[in-house]
Amino acid sequence: MPLLVIADNSIAQLYKQHKAQGSLIISSLDGTSIYVHNQILSEKRFVPASTFKILNTLIALQENVIDEKQIIKWDEENRVYQSWNRDQTLESAFKVSCVWCYQEFAKQIGNERYLKYLKETHYGNEKTGKDLSRFWLDGDLKISAQEQIAFLKKVYLEELNFKSKNIKLLKKIMLEKETPKYSLSAKTGWSNKVGWYVGYIEVNDKVWLFASNLEINSKEDLKLRKSLVIEAFKLKKIL
């Protein structure tokens, strides 16, 4: 169900300044404070790309196809990103967005199990498609920024039907930055000219959920996925 919010003009100016096309939702955990840029776009579904690794990690852990310390052996095939061309752990695979690692998980999980988890978690349109190794990259799975927020809230509150230890491990892996003032847990994504940055920030004893999607026309645009969110936090006095 769409969030009933008023467009935030200061964030709109930020996007205009950077000539960025996209949407952003920043919501307090309790939903009493919600800032949104581009309401219409925030309701539109796109492929989740690597942001699906948040749910995919939980599924892989729940299905016992990987554990925290297990080494994922590199097949010695050279891929486009050097950070992928080595043995991985679950944490490193998540942080460097190692596609081939999660494709290996997908083979073991299977379509039937994925559909079950997508339905149980109400994740986006709950579809996979013909290619199990790419359904979150350029397949049938789609999700909106608003749906990302709803899902992230369940993750943070541990309201999903996964073992508590698995959700806690996911949260540990999601932690991107920790300072004396705040901790930031997040995941980027990029596919089909759509860039994502989703997660939550804990600051001043308050939790804020965020989901941003951005039109990516060149690799230079990729840095805006994070920087626009951080600048928006500062505009709204969250940071």
Q: Is residue 166 part of a domain?
A: yes
With respect to residue 4, please indicate whether it lies within any of the assigned structural domains: no
What's the rounded Cα separation, in Å, for the pair 135 and 36? 28
**Edge-to-edge strand order for the sheet containing 22-28?**
34-37, 22-28, 206-215, 194-203, 182-191, 175-178
Report the domain count for the chain.
1
Q: Is residue 213 part of a domain?
A: yes
Here the CATH number for the domain that contains residue 182 is 3.40.710.10
Residues 124-170 pLDDT 10s: 999 999 999 999 999 999 999 999 999 999 999 999 999 999 999 99
pLDDT in tens, the chain (239 residues): 444 455 678 999 999 999 999 999 999 999 999 999 999 999 999 999 999 999 999 999 999 999 999 999 999 899 988 999 999 999 999 999 999 999 999 999 999 999 999 999 999 999 999 999 999 999 999 999 999 999 999 999 999 999 999 999 999 999 999 999 999 999 999 998 999 999 999 999 999 999 999 999 998 999 999 999 999 999 999 99
Active-site amino acid positions? 50
Domain-located, residue 2: no
Residue 3 lies in a domain: no
Domain of 94, in residue numbers: 9-235
In a domain, 218, yes or no: yes
Return the closest-CA partner of residue 155 out of 50, 38, 52: 52
Taking the model in full, what pTM does it have? Answer: 0.94
DSSP state of 73: -
